Structure 1
């Protein structure tokens, strides 16, 4: 099914990306259900949205693989990342997002090296989106790490 003109490393990047993105969907979906059982409806909804965004990446990767004549095969699904509290989940998610960022950065650079504008642009767009996810996680983690200040006496008396 593979076209002869398709760079084999690009297909390798796509295969790894598919496995990682499917793993991300599984992780965010699992975490959404887990934090919902903890009664954290807001974070559960946010994690469901993350799963949906990662699923959109999966669909784009599959479309790209098919366009290149390759059969999609996300064969190395990772176990879902779970933990005992929201902060530990998000910290693990951040590390995972950094792995995706590294993969897409390498893939975009390879596309540039082989003068494949389509591959460079494709992976560059995914890179920008995963970098945005990583920044959002940093902000979410920072917000959770902020100490809760008790109301001042004056405010408490109002």
Structure 2
């Protein structure tokens, strides 16, 4: 495939985003199965939903890459981090979401600097969704902490 007039850094951001989003799918799916084995079926359902949401992000990135004329290529999945309890799992998830936020923030700022409004809007939408997810995780972590004390 050929890409026409697409900033190489934007393509790099898309490739890293795809790798991270697919890593998130793997992370949440694995965690869902783990907490199900602990008997936490409601938590397992919630983590499965998170996995589906991250898969939706990956599909949007793939669609964007195809629209730009490049073949999607996720370079490497991150290893899954498993915790000994729910609070530890959620802390790992929060750190992972912050990586996504940082990537999308950098990508958005780069698109502003090169006057690429279409890709800026694309990355900005993902950034806002990941920020909302991080806020939800913060609340969930606080709820878990309060029930453990």
The TM-score normalised by the length of structure 2 is 0.97
Q: Would you say how many aligned residue pairs link Structure 1 and Structure 2?
A: 149
**C-alpha distance in structure 1 between counterparts of 2:57 and 2:127, whole Å:** 11
In the TM superposition, residue 76 of structure 1 has moved relative to its aligned partner by 1.0
In the TM superposition, residue 2 of structure 1 has moved relative to its aligned partner by 2.8
After TM superposition, the structure 1 stretch with the greater mean CA deviation from structure 2, 140-149 or 44-53, is: 140-149
Q: After TM superposition, list the pairs within 5 Å mapping 1:52-91 onto structure 2.
A: 52-91=52-91
* Residue-by-residue CA offset, 1:81-106 (whole Å, 9 max, x unaligned): 21111110000000000000000000
**Equivalent position of 1:130 in the other structure:** 130
In the TM superposition, residue 112 of structure 1 has moved relative to its aligned partner by 0.9
**Equivalent position of 2:12 in the other structure:** 12
1:34 aligns with 2:34: yes
**Equivalent position of 2:112 in the other structure:** 112
* Residue-by-residue CA offset, 1:87-144 (whole Å, 9 max, x unaligned): 1000000000000000000001111111111010000000000000100000000001
Structure 1 residues 116 and 45, CA gap change in structure 2 (3 angstroms): same
**C-alpha distance in structure 2 between counterparts of 1:116 and 1:77, whole Å:** 28
In the TM superposition, residue 147 of structure 1 has moved relative to its aligned partner by 4.6
**C-alpha distance in structure 1 between counterparts of 2:10 and 2:2, whole Å:** 12
Name the Cα RMSD after superposition. Answer: 1.1
**C-alpha distance in structure 2 between counterparts of 1:124 and 1:106, whole Å:** 10
Structure 1 residues 52 and 8, CA gap change in structure 2 (3 angstroms): same
Q: Secondary structure at the match of 2:71?
A: coil
Which runs of no fewer than 5 residues in structure 2 stay unpaired? none
The TM-score normalised by the length of structure 1 is 0.92
**C-alpha distance in structure 1 between counterparts of 2:115 and 2:129, whole Å:** 22
**Equivalent position of 1:93 in the other structure:** 93
- 2:4/2:68 contact within 8 Å kept: no
**C-alpha distance in structure 2 between counterparts of 1:46 and 1:22, whole Å:** 18
